[in-house]
Chains A and B, each alone.
Chain A
């Protein structure tokens, strides 16, 4: 009940501050644009088929071996590979949104000096932290879902038939809907922790950006052929993120203790 009251306040506050979502909208736009550009527009403009290039032989071979994608023609297989490859970019959407909202929420409370009156109420540390986390997490996941729909629609509209269906497979869906939320949770918890030590939302976001580095690493690793984002690999990352999130939650709960906020926060 109390968590819900505070969560509603967080969401109302965000609705009044839509500029918070601008970085996320830009990241989402780039995430959708890149596969369309690389898999559809550039080959079309160049008048070449991707499947003719030796660079994508592995992709074609890989897709021939998977039952769900066996029916795709070679060009569709390469496009499916590229759309799956760039789906990692969709993970940046919840991460960016969560970091931006969480940093604004905590630093905003500090700047407005609205935390102390809140701490006087009977609200518990868990309820306070829960409302802050959910207030950043819920819009992040909604935005991710919206962008995933746009991503699939882009594949359906611009790529070969069958490519869009591939995106509903465990690889892409797992990347977007398991890794994405877990990475967002880690990012927002990091932003919450950092925000307790700084008085500027941008500083908190800049430190929180560290979470983006492993995601960029995944993208580059795939590009270099060092990493194959298989279901097993996704499961291992999920496990790692769960451990990281549990650790961050412990730190966040300690930082959100009343006495800590009033005597140690700067």
Chain B
């Protein structure tokens, strides 16, 4: 029996001659956030739609738990999936409560009213439940759309650009809600352009450009693409210490004012610090020079163009 909430295997989708998605494979685990990154037109939304059984793959397969997503099984399996589409897509003439209630009924919840009350409470929108959604701010609409995506208590949540167009405060609120979904044990797939968001919440990342360019944890992707560097702040001119480190066999040492930057190589950080102290350096600070996820992303999509 599969422990994965969702498994995509060799997903490929053609639209006429155009290949939107090609040979994409990954898994979603319960209680983890998986981020799907990619430029516009990379096939993210097409991939999400295939995962939700909305469009059929040209080849490849999707499994929800251990069950294959076939046209016959799709309506039943969709009950286990919550999908936040790129636009909130609320019915503006209906109240927040009624928007959620129709969805609870569409999912045939035994107690639709209770499910709505719980979703309203979880997303802290109970006080706006009688408002027509046309009157809500963009951030609140997104909150309602998120509540709608999980009103039927799905084990898998697919989120397409959940913070697109939101102000920083609303975006932070939405991020907190996404993290709360992970805490509840749901498998979350986050499709986004927002690298900062991914950095903050994602456990695993995949970069998509029709094909999967890379997949792994943010740390794994950094290590795969960039050599780890140390930055050391000394109280004197760093130039003279750079020479003594090179003489001791430390590679790729750069000095800039009172800062030294170097590749760790085979030496550990305490060993390097000890060498500098022995050479008479006053150590002010030691920090690891981590490339941002943006650097990783740009290098993955443009291996020849991006440099640090």
Contact = CB atoms under 8 A, between A and B. Distances in A.
Interface string A103-114: 000000000111
A259 B50 CA distance: 10
Interface residues of B, number: 33
Given A122-B76, A258-B55, A262-B49, A112 B102 contact: no
Contacts of B92: 112
Interface stretch (B35-43, B105-113, B176-184, B206-214): B105-113
A1 interface: yes
A124 B87 CA distance: 22
A2 interface: yes
A263 interface: yes
Contact of A124 (B56, B75, B91, B145): B75
Count chain B CB atoms within 10 A of each CB in A16, A118, A120 and give the residue with the most: A120
A226 interface: no
B301 interface: no
Interface string B182-214: 000000000000000000000000000000000
Contacts of A122: 75-76, 78-79, 106-108
A241 to B, nearest CB: 32
A117 B89 contact: yes
Interface string B88-116: 11111110001000110111100000000
A116 to B, nearest CB: 5
A263 B15 contact: yes
A120 B79 CA distance: 9
Interface in B100-137: 102-103, 105-108, 132
B78 A121 contact: yes
B85 interface: yes
A118 B91 CA distance: 11
A259 B105 contact: no
Given A5-B105, A6-B106, A112 B89 contact: yes
B79 A259 contact: no
Nearest to A124: B75
Contact of A112 (B52, B90, B108): B90
A202 interface: no
Interface stretch (A7-15, A79-87, A146-154): A7-15
A117 B78 contact: no
Contacts of B49: 262
A1 B107 CA distance: 10
Nearest to B78: A122
A34 interface: no
B232 interface: no
B148 interface: yes
B108 A2 contact: yes
Interface in A104-146: 112-124
Contact of A9 (B52, B56, B91): B91
A254 interface: no
B52 A113 contact: no
B83 interface: yes
B93 A1 contact: no
Contacts of B90: 112, 114
A114 B55 contact: no
A228 interface: no
8 contacts: A13-B91, A113-B89, A117-B85, A117-B145, A119-B54, A121-B107, A122-B79, A262-B49
Given A117-B89, A119-B54, A123-B106, 5 more contacts: A112-B91, A116-B87, A116-B89, A121-B106, A122-B78
Which are the 6 A-B pairs with shortest beta-carbon distances?
A5-B105, A16-B93, A113-B87, A122-B75, A114-B89, A120-B83
